[in-house]
Amino acid sequence: MGRTIDYSLLSIGLKNRSLCTRCGTCTGICPEGAIYLDDDFYPAIAEEKCTECGICRETCPGAKVNYQQLASITFGNQPDDDSFDGYSKLSYVGYTRDEKIKNGGAGGGIITGLLWDLLKHGEVDGCLVTRMNPDKPWLGQSFIARTYEDLTSSQGSKYSILPHNSILAELRNLDGRFAFAGLPCQIHGLRLLADKAPELKNKIYGIIGLFCGGALETYVVPELLKTKKVSPEEISDFQFRGGDWPGKMRAVRKNSEIVDMHYSDYKDGAYNYFTFIYSPMRCLTCIDGSAHFADLSVGDVWTRDQQGNYRFKAHSRMLARTDRGVDILMNAINRGTIAAEDVTSDPHYKTHRAQTKRKGINVPLRIQRLKKKGFSVPVYDRKVPDDATLKERLSERMVTAVHFITRHYYLRFPLTKFLTSRYSIPLIIIRRWLKRRKYRQ
Ligand SMILES: Cc1cc2nc3c(=O)[nH]c(=O)nc-3n(C[C@H](O)[C@H](O)[C@H](O)COP(=O)(O)OP(=O)(O)OC[C@H]3O[C@@H](n4cnc5c(N)ncnc54)[C@H](O)[C@@H]3O)c2cc1C
């Protein structure tokens, strides 16, 4: 008979998948290499290797996110603030001056520009970044970039679930200092290493966070390809925001032919509805949309003028939160790597109106409601707003209902097919008209 493991000592993904963020921290941190990932990037355990040391549970951000604890690890005595943006020292808007990096970015190529600045000036030996897996281009993977070419190949947003922190297993065997770029949940896991694995923590020079409205399930790309009758084996790459800013989802065939997955672009096309349909419930119950515990967070700048046109096409917004974040940003500006404008005291740059609502009102309402119904939900040390309007309550219920209904492939796939087909063009036109009307008011 095999031995019995005490599962209460293990990370949440090994006990309750609905709370797992699939950030990969448990796989990366396990000193015995006992935790591996299955095809959907959930952790699984090789029981014979596990010593029940408990480190995977202590660094797991799935079941509980304690803002006070994370703030004290990240900022010391400075508490986080509970706005959507969170605590920051400086706020800038800009883009990377290197044309190739700028054009390859999801926004202004700022993350890659900052990483390149660190690498080029010898402040780090490598960068922990991501790309679409060359062998399975419908899935993302992490890797360590050490050259300009590596970094440009890591550009762009991979919106499907990616267990980025599993790269810590590789980091364990390397000497040197490394910069990390990643999503809020991945950063929660990384920050929890602080006193649990100082040998790993000390190798991380700086953490650059991405704003995040939620990732998408691992099956999103195969299903999108299916709507266009393309088999996953036919493609060499998949871009979630390929082409001109703000980009669109598209596949690259092995013969370099580009196949668009939908009409219009990332902002007005099918992607808009994908967070309801393809985001796991753990993302729909996450309240950190701006990577509160990064040294420096980067997001898109969606500020529009009164005609509804974007004021900062292909720019990124930067929030420097720690002294290290300020150094990374100011050095890159002073060395001429990035062009950036200080907007610290300009209120117009709090532009994530929809996300502020989603993360600040919809998500807490959802957590409260699902908890009452007996579902597992993550625990936060934050108060749930008690002043939500009827419209906000209805909108939360609608998103949750769509999410549950579309868990069934036979309901989800026809909807995806419709949203990516020409029959959805009227939706795009209505959306654009509504946006223009909103900004004229
Ligand atoms: C799942 C997801 C949701 C997002 N939601 C929002 C949002 O709601 N609002 C918003 O303003 N911005 C959001 N972003 C961030 C935005 O899409 C841009 O990535 C960001 O603005 C940086 O652009 P850039 O041109 O500066 O970076 P680039 O130069 O294009 O570099 C992108 C960097 O991000 C890393 N990266 C990409 N995908 C992942 C991933 N899945 N996990 C870990 N690292 C990754 C790459 O390795 C690379 O280092 C999201 C990104 C992702 C991946």
What region, left, alpha or beta, does residue 221 occupy, with left being phi > 0 and alpha being psi -120 to 50 degrees? alpha
pLDDT at 2: 61
118, 144, 157: residue to mutate for ligand 1 pocket, most atoms within 8 A of CB: 157
Residue 107 Cα: closest atom of ligand 1: 25
Long-range CB contacts for residues 132-140, cutoff 8 Å, separation at least 24: 132/158, 132/237, 132/238, 134/236, 136/232, 137/232, 137/235, 137/236, 137/237, 137/238, 137/252, 138/221, 138/222, 138/225, 138/232, 138/235, 138/238, 139/218, 139/221
Distance 19 CA to ligand 1 centre (A): 22
CA distance 273 to 12: 29
- Low-confidence residues of the chain: pLDDT under 50: none
Cβ atoms 248, 267 nearer than 8 A = no
Q: Is the pTM of this model over 0.85?
A: yes
pLDDT attached to residue 302: 87
Give me ligand 1 centre to Cα 404, in Å: 26
Distance CA 343, CA 346 (A): 5
- In this prediction, residue 279 carries a pLDDT of 97
Q: Which of 148, 210, 315, 359 to mutate to test the pocket of ligand 1 (most atoms within 8 A of CB)?
A: 210
Strand-pair partners of 132: 140
Q: How far is the CA of 389 from the centre of ligand 1 (A)?
A: 31
Atom of ligand 1 nearest to the CA of 131: 47
Task: Give residue 412's region: left, alpha or beta (phi > 0; psi -120 to 50).
Answer: alpha
For residue 127, the surrounding DSSP H or E stretch is strand 126-132
Place of tokens 């890797």: 143
Q: Which residues line ligand 1 (CB under 6 A)?
A: 105-112, 129-130, 140, 154-159, 162, 164, 181-183, 210-213, 215, 298-300, 316, 355
Please name the residue whose Cα sits nearest to atom 42 of ligand 1. 182
Output the CA torsion 75→76→78→84 (10° steps). 30
Instruction: Tell how far CA 355 is from the center of its chain.
Output: 13
Give the number of the atom of ligand 1 that is nearest the alpha carbon of residue 161: 41
The alpha-carbon radius of gyration of the chain (Å, integer) is 21
CA distance 171 to 114: 21
CA angle in degrees (0–180, nearest 5) for 53-58-63: 130
Nearest CA to ligand 1 atom 44: 182
| 99 within 8 A of 105, measured Cβ to Cβ | no
255, 263 in Cβ contact below 8 A?
A: no
Residue the block writes with tokens 């603030």? 81
